[in-house]
Amino acid sequence: MFGRLLRIDLTTSAVETGQVPEEYIREYIGGSGLGVRLLWDALHPDLDPLDPAAPLLWVNGPLTGTGGPTTGRFTLCGRSPQTGLWGEANFGGFVGPELRFAGVDVLWVAGRAAQPVYLWIHDGEAEIRPAGHLWGQADVYETQRRIRAELEVPQARVACIGLAAERGVPFSGIFSDHGRAAARTGMGALMASKNLKAVAVRGARGAGGLPLAEAERYRSLRLAANKALLDETLTAVLRQTGTSGSAEYFQLLGDMPQRYWTQAAFAGAEKISGSAMAESILTGTSACQGCVISCGRVVTVPGGPYATRGPAKGPEYETICSFGSQLLIDDLPAITALGDLCDRLGMDTISAGGVLGLATLLYKRGLLTKADTGGLELAWGDPRPYFTLLDRMARREGIGNLLAQGALALASAYGVPELAAQVGNLEVPLHDPRAATGMALVYVTSPRGACHNQGDYFMVEIGSSIEELGIPMTDRSVDAGKAVFVARHQDFRTVCNSLVTCIFAQVPPSTLAELLSAASGQAWSVEEMLRAGERAWNLKRLLNLRLGWTSDREKLPDLLLRPLPVGGQAGVVPDMELLLGEYYAARGWERSTGGPTLKKAAELGLEWVHR
């Protein structure tokens, strides 16, 4: 059954196999929920995120690799070098399924190798191999190719870090396949601190080797669920236009941020949307393992200053905004090239793009000067200097060293921390909380800092109600009464991050419960799944309180609390005090401690934490 554990200590080269305690799976399902339970005993405030003893977990879910709807995903967990708090990064592509095919549900990596190494995991075995020749490799795609070549296993899946992680950039990620990234919270820097360049994996038995309790029942359920998903209109939108297909609509709503959160109307949106991409440079699509949506974009720019080296990864919505609307760049090939460079260097496009937007705002306000930038002139709409800045950021050279420390460090260095769009030192993703105020609550209460994957509540606010969960569509500009639904939606997304499934899939919760029941052989109801999600959400909060989080940090930066005069969110500012007050009541939390009451903890079976 699900729960096969492979534990590797890179200091001693010890490799052990084992089994995750059964009760952890029953209480936390898998993925990041299971991750926080497993790491609870290991993470303490005096353990630096980059200390050799700080573990990095690769955690699959019980549905990973099973061919169920959007189940080609897994999660990386650890203490974030970027935020100092709970860190998790959800990873699509093929690596998670391949790990399961190779007999590993949870990979626990601790210690620090004396020299750079990579792991080669195949069919129940793990080898630690030298990677000195790959260290300093400034291209994550080339690293993958070289490892596959030297293993002489072209089907091997490789997840690796880039140059930015080696240089300790706090928002560096882990990359695999065709531009798939576990980008947020600096899991790349954590991996680099272990002198671990990559993990290569191959499970020759494929999905046939997965332990499913009721294989035939599961097969029927997954076929029906995938067929239903394929019939969804949103699936067709994502398949044909990618995640940026909604860009023009989000622009209309005021959800798509522009000029680093200071503008609400950008004519260039129509030039950079998913539709524009489909009509110009799109040459293919890509999908995570077993996914019927296929939202990944493959583009080719045949000529000009931003010509691609053959087919390249097309930017998704967050990158379209980070390197497009936020910088007022309406040149799709240029945005593609910036996103591609950021990936190759191994950095998170949300954070890196956010820092570039802030740098430009500071430059236009005369705070940051040409002397600071090494002679580069920053102007809204001009992509050219950003290529140099991204490279310097990854190498931590010149101004790049300051940029690499993130938006809060940059703004603080110039005396304007209120201009840094971040929560908990994680840069805010590209959904404006003034356009859907439930997102304001999601950003300030998320366990990993400002994050839209812990709750894409903006979708609820534009109509994606979930009747099965009693979550109605709420008015996106009205604050009162929505906190209880935000909390319930977060619990549901924590379930998705535990299974692990993609938030783009409109799969009914009851279908997920049936799939989980058939996979595990244990009966799961929707409410039991939600309770597991709520339990994990609370445990992440309790861990963060242990690691130094305080409730007075639950606030949006001043920049995002300034109303914009025009656009789809004109004049709207979330009432944070109202939202938080209702949220704490809905959660059963206390403002004084920032965490659950003893009664709530006991209700969730977490009284042992309080003790």
Partner 1 sequence: MILYMDLWHGRCREAFVLADGQSRTPAYVLSAPIATWKKVVTSQLDPIQGIITGQLKLKGNMIMVMRNVRAAKELVAACGRIPTEFPV
The binding site for partner 1 (CB under 8 A) comprises 231-234, 236-237, 239-241, 245-246, 248-249, 252, 270, 273-276, 278-279, 459, 462-465, 506
Nearer CB in complex with partner 1: 9/255: 255
C-beta separation of 319 from 336 below 8 A: no
Q: How far is the CB of 466 from partner 1 (least distance, A)?
A: 10
Q: How far is the CB of 321 from partner 1 (least distance, A)?
A: 16
C-beta separation of 6 from 29 below 8 A: no
All residues at 6 or more sequence positions from 58 whose CB lies less than 8 Å from its CB, including other chains: 74, 75, 76, 96, 99, 104, 106, 107, 109, 199
Tokens of 592: 């004084």
> Can you tell me which residue has the tokens 């190759």?
344
Give which of 466, 471, 430, 422 is closest to 448, Cα–Cα. Answer: 422
Nearer CB in complex with partner 1: 276/355: 276
Pairing of strands 74-79, 56-59: antiparallel
Nearer CB in complex with partner 1: 137/275: 275
CA 552 from centroid of its chain's CA atoms: 25
Q: How far is the CB of 474 from partner 1 (least distance, A)?
A: 13
Amino acid letter at 124? Answer: G
Q: How far is the CB of 366 from partner 1 (least distance, A)?
A: 37
Centre a 10 Å sphere on the Cβ of residue 133 and count the other Cβ atoms it contains. Answer: 11
C-beta separation of 241 from 274 below 8 A: yes
Tokens of 58: 């690769």
Nearer CB in complex with partner 1: 148/271: 271
Q: How far is the CB of 247 from partner 1 (least distance, A)?
A: 8
Nearer CB in complex with partner 1: 244/405: 244
How many residues does the structure list for the chain? 611
Q: How far is the CB of 463 from partner 1 (least distance, A)?
A: 4
C-beta separation of 5 from 105 below 8 A: yes
Nearer CB in complex with partner 1: 25/281: 281
DSSP 508: -
Nearer CB in complex with partner 1: 137/241: 241
Distances (CA, A) of 178 to 146, 252, 299, 347: 15, 31, 12, 15
Nearer CB in complex with partner 1: 169/278: 278
Nearer CB in complex with partner 1: 510/550: 510
Q: How far is the CB of 440 from partner 1 (least distance, A)?
A: 20
Radius of gyration of the chain (CA): 22
Nearer CB in complex with partner 1: 271/396: 271
Q: How far is the CB of 268 from partner 1 (least distance, A)?
A: 14
Tokens of 279: 């009509």
Tokens of 133: 């020749």
Q: How far is the CB of 420 from partner 1 (least distance, A)?
A: 31
Rounded Cα gap, residues 501 and 482, in angstroms: 25
Q: How far is the CB of 456 from partner 1 (least distance, A)?
A: 12
Amino acid letter at 262? Answer: T
Q: How far is the CB of 461 from partner 1 (least distance, A)?
A: 10
Cis peptide before 59 (omega within 30 of 0): no
Q: How far is the CB of 36 from partner 1 (least distance, A)?
A: 31
Tokens of 143: 């690293």
C-beta separation of 4 from 99 below 8 A: no
Nearer CB in complex with partner 1: 66/243: 243
C-beta separation of 73 from 86 below 8 A: no
Torsion sign over Cα 152, 154, 157, 160: positive
Rounded Cα gap, residues 493 and 302, in angstroms: 40
Nearer CB in complex with partner 1: 248/382: 248
Give which of 100, 119, 96, 62 is closest to 176, Cα–Cα. Answer: 96
